[in-house]
Amino acid sequence: MSVDDIKRVINSLRELPAMPNVVTKALSVIKDPNSGARDLAKTIENDHAITAELLKIVNSPYFGLSQNIQTVGQSITLLGFNEVKSIILSCAMKPMMTTQGGKDLWEHAINTAVAAETIAKKLGRSDSDDFFAQGLMHDLGKIVFELYNRKQAYEAIRLTKSGADILMAEKMVFGFDHTEVGYILGNRWQLPKQIVSVMRHHHKPQFSEFRTSAGIIYVADRIVQDPIKNPILEPEIKIKLDFEINNIEGFRRQVLDRARMLLLNLNSL
Ligand SMILES: [Fe+2]
Ligand SMILES: [Fe+2]
């Protein structure tokens, strides 16, 4: 299918979810930690549902804070801007992901987000804070399948589970895959360029203009999946990446443990 054909598919959907306002805001807050934090706090406080969810999570045993946090500003002071931003993004994306993508997509998104951020930190990247969002959103293109044709969506999943390559299975059933449609959706939602590129190229990071970023998501995506079905790195891609992870098994366990705690909190909302 051509890009125009895929756009026609998207336009034919009865209800394409809108990107929540708070997500757009959280993704665009400027890097200045002070004005960024104040700016984000103001936006969030206008959204009472998200504020309530955030406060419930920051006051949960997961963070083990001794005092009761009552405002968004306090949460940012105690946990840091980035941690709060990640919780906000997760809370705000959860309805769309669980409704259109289901439990599997939701859990995979959180697992990949935690893995990507951890890898970026390990690599000492100054932009490591951006990777939670990239991991969270990398597979968003998949939400279109369920909306477009539920029966076909199950068929693509069935093919994948029985061993077919996921992009091939989607292309066979729908004529396009989740990275192609993700790219169009990301642009339509006016997501940051880097996220859109990751949505398009996370299966083939060597083609991204943000090659190392897409590479981090590629590795994060693989690491959190079944190690037997998804060998971590295909040799020809490994050569093209600029980094390596030692003790992959230990790393996988560490990431999945952290993600499980976060999911427990998010799912209890
Ligand atoms: Fe994917
Ligand atoms: Fe993925």
Cα(62) to ligand 2 centroid in Å equals 26
3-state SS class at 80: coil
Q: Which ligand is nearest to the CA of 105?
A: 2
* Residue with more model confidence, 144 or 268: 144
Domain segments of the chain as ranges: 3-16+96-267
Q: What is the largest CA-CA distance in the chain?
A: 56
140 pLDDT tier (thresholds 50, 70, 90)? very high
Cα(203) to ligand 1 centroid in Å equals 6
Q: Give CA separation, 124 vs 48, 127, 141, 148, 192, in Å.
A: 35, 9, 29, 41, 22
Cα(56) to ligand 1 centroid in Å equals 31
Six token digits for residue 162? 């029985």
234 pLDDT tier (thresholds 50, 70, 90)? low
Architecture of domain 3-16+96-267: Orthogonal Bundle (1.10)
Cα(114) to ligand 1 centroid in Å equals 16
Cα(169) to ligand 1 centroid in Å equals 12
Contact 219, 232 (CB under 8 A): yes
> Alpha-carbon distance 180 to 168, whole Å?
12
pLDDT at 29: 80
Q: Which ligand is nearest to the CA of 104?
A: 2
pLDDT at 187: 96
Q: Which ligand is nearest to the CA of 181?
A: 1
Element (H, E) at 106: helix 102-122
Give the helix, strand, coil percentages of the chain, each rounded to 5: 70, 0, 30
Q: Which ligand is nearest to the CA of 217?
A: 2
Cα(235) to ligand 2 centroid in Å equals 19
Cα(197) to ligand 1 centroid in Å equals 12
> Alpha-carbon distance 116 to 221, whole Å?
8
Determine the number of helices (DSSP H) and then strands (DSSP E) in the chain: 16, 0
**If you average pLDDT over residues 49-64, what whole number do you get?**
91
pTM of the entire structure?
0.91
* Residue with more model confidence, 197 or 1: 197
Cα(49) to ligand 1 centroid in Å equals 30
Q: Which ligand is nearest to the CA of 222?
A: 2
Task: Give which of 224, 182, 176 is closest to 199, Cα–Cα.
Answer: 182
Cα(60) to ligand 1 centroid in Å equals 31
Task: Give which of 44, 81, 83 is closest to 63, Cα–Cα.
Answer: 83
- Summarised one tens digit per residue, pLDDT across range 73-92 is 999 989 988 899 999 999 99
Q: DSSP secondary structure string, 22-47?
A: HHHHHHH--S-HHHHHHHHHHHHHH-
Cα(74) to ligand 2 centroid in Å equals 34
Cα(236) to ligand 2 centroid in Å equals 19
